[in-house]
Chains A and B, each alone.
Chain A
Amino acid sequence: MPSPSPTAEAARVASRRRLLPRPPVTVLLVPGLAVMLFAFCYPVVTTLAWPPDGDPATVARETGSLLTDPYLLPVIARTVRVSVLTTALCLAMGFPVAYLISRAPGAWPGRLLALAIFPLLLNTVVRTYGWIVVLGGNGLISKVSEALGLGRVQLLYTETAIVLGLVQLFLPLMILSTYSSLSQQDHRLEDAARGLGASPGRAFRDVVFPLALPGVLVGCTLVFAGAVTAFTTPQLLGGPRERLLSTLLYSRVNVSLDWPSASAIALVMTVLVLVASALSNRLGKIGSTTS
């Protein structure tokens, strides 16, 4: 059998190509978009606007009363306070760790990073129960305080306990985000600044931190959003007294079965996260244009 000539072969390939045009690359977006649409957008819109036994009007009414309710306003304030504090503490503790990891020699950055994010592999409930053991009335801190003659301390079911738990929960996330920015930096930049007369502190302020800002902002947004929406930790460490929006939302759905009110709470939480995200975007833009 004669083998087809090269030109005939080329023509055949070309005609096949014409019959079956190559799909545009954007087709690759379809599966992801479909999942987002049916498993995210639809339930979110439903939850926020059309809850069971409610419609957008009732949700709006509930939101209005939520924002004026003297019992609920402190919950919003506490949620914001706990989330901001958690973010600030994670940044204060995570950034130096990420910095040192990014400057470690040889194979150490990889090893240290694995160690830093190891807690992410443990279940949240397990990690949170660890704090109950430490913070409770019969816990380690209380016993030490009693032995020192300072009396028992009950840290469990306080706002402090929630912040501690959340910081521990989200610290790896902050380390990871800031590390990604810091590790991309040319280490010589810091040397260059020092050589040009900058003290270590000034080199950090002028060069290291501004260049790490994208990672810092991503870390802060992630931690803030995580803290606003976290449920297990505030539920276990805050108890029924120190309510956050997330735990209140849970009780509205499962205890009082007040769906429109729950929708209103969810709406407030969503707005909080969106505001934080917008703020971070804004800061990122300022950071990249000034200096």
Chain B
Amino acid sequence: MTSVVETAVEAPVVELDRVSHRFGARGGKGGTTAVADLDLAVRRGEFTTLLGPSGCGKTTTLRMIAGFLQPTSGRILLEGADATRTPPEKRNIGMVFQSYALFPHMTLRDNVGYGLRTRKVASAEVKRRAGEALELVGLAHLADRKPAELSGGQQQRVALARAVAIRPSVLLLDEPLSNLDAQLRVQMRRELLRVQRETGLTAVLVTHDQDEALELSDTMVILNNGHLEQQGAPRDVFPRPANRFVAEFLGYDNFPEVPGHGPVTVRPEHVRLLSGGAREDTGETGLDGTVGEVTFQGSNCLVEAVIDGAEGPGAVLRALHPADDLRPGDPVRIALPHRHLVELPAHGAPAHEATAHEVAG
């Protein structure tokens, strides 16, 4: 456990101290708030993702870390030093853009070597390190091509190699996989993780894709309307969403009213539907219902069950049912295992404040 203590003592690679950004603000007043009082610490070698729907402030946050945007208030520390007003070219960041932003008039080698040339590295060394970085992403054989001759996935690799080649203090990734098709995206995710592990780089990724965040992150930071909703390791966050927003975002579809409980949520794969007079086990709450819509999904069926006598949005439960034996109108017994019910704060509670403290502790 000594290593944990050591990393805790070392200053975070990136630290945001009550950072806010308001677009169209004059003198710190007015405008639209994109990021509000955000605290964040990214530790060395960690993979952090900023996750949230569009407009949640995740890209604004990344662009502030990169130095392309200035916070309206608050401080940004890089490697423990205040970098709030440092221009991007002096921050030693490696940024990968959603549009790749490869220089179209340069070969791959010149693209990847660009950050070394600006650092006045000797040309033989530039060539060697650019070659190494291209090797890392498996494109060394295309070093003399221009970006337009490559596929989207290859361009993405070059963008990654270019950011990695400068050995940045932090690798910043702005939705780098969102322009790729689904299959390639999953493949590139692995590739991204491999490169990050091999180089030992600290990485901050912006994404709206929860699967991407869950798979890649050491720490995931969930943002909504510029506020931090929840932060933590995927293994901690996923089973215990701190509030309704996080729950919905992570695919908790059900917010049933369960007798004897406050607001709770449960994932469709944890709702059991029993037919033919079967009853719930101990440790489960049972409710009578009627089958609504059934959607066949291959190995499962997504079944909507309406709780008898209930009304409103809480009356419908979505269950991932492992057999195709239910039809609309069938009576059904809905079993909710208590250990899978996640308690949520009462409605109207300012969730982000509560979670911010929880995370700090």
Contact = CB atoms under 8 A, between A and B. Distances in A.
Contact of B89 (A188, A197, A210): A197
Interface of A: 186, 188-189, 191-199, 202, 206-207, 210-211, 288, 291
Interface of B: 66-68, 87-95, 97, 99, 101-106, 110, 114-115, 118-119, 162-163, 166, 172
Closest 4 CB pairs of A and B: A196-B115, A197-B118, A188-B101, A192-B101
Contacts of B99: 186, 188
A198 B99 CA distance: 19
Contacts of A196: 89, 94, 114-115, 118, 162, 166
B105 A202 contact: no
A243 B99 CA distance: 53
Contacts of A194: 67-68, 87-89
Given A211-B104, A291-B105, A193 B114 contact: yes
Given A194-B87, A210-B105, A211-B104, 10 more contacts: A188-B101, A191-B88, A191-B95, A192-B101, A192-B162, A193-B103, A193-B114, A195-B89, A195-B93, A198-B118
B70 to A, nearest CB: 14
B105 A186 contact: no
Contacts of B92: 197
Nearest to B162: A196
A206 B114 contact: yes
B94 A195 contact: yes
A236 B93 CA distance: 58
Contacts of A186: 99, 101
Nearest to A185: B104
Given A210-B105, A288-B105, A202 B118 contact: yes
Contacts of A188: 97, 99, 101
Nearest to B91: A195
A197 B95 CA distance: 11
A194 B91 CA distance: 10
Nearest to A211: B105
Contacts of A210: 105
A268 B225 CA distance: 67
A98 B154 CA distance: 33
Contact of A207 (B95, B103, B162, B172): B103
A206 B113 CA distance: 13
Given A196-B162, A206-B114, A191 B68 contact: yes
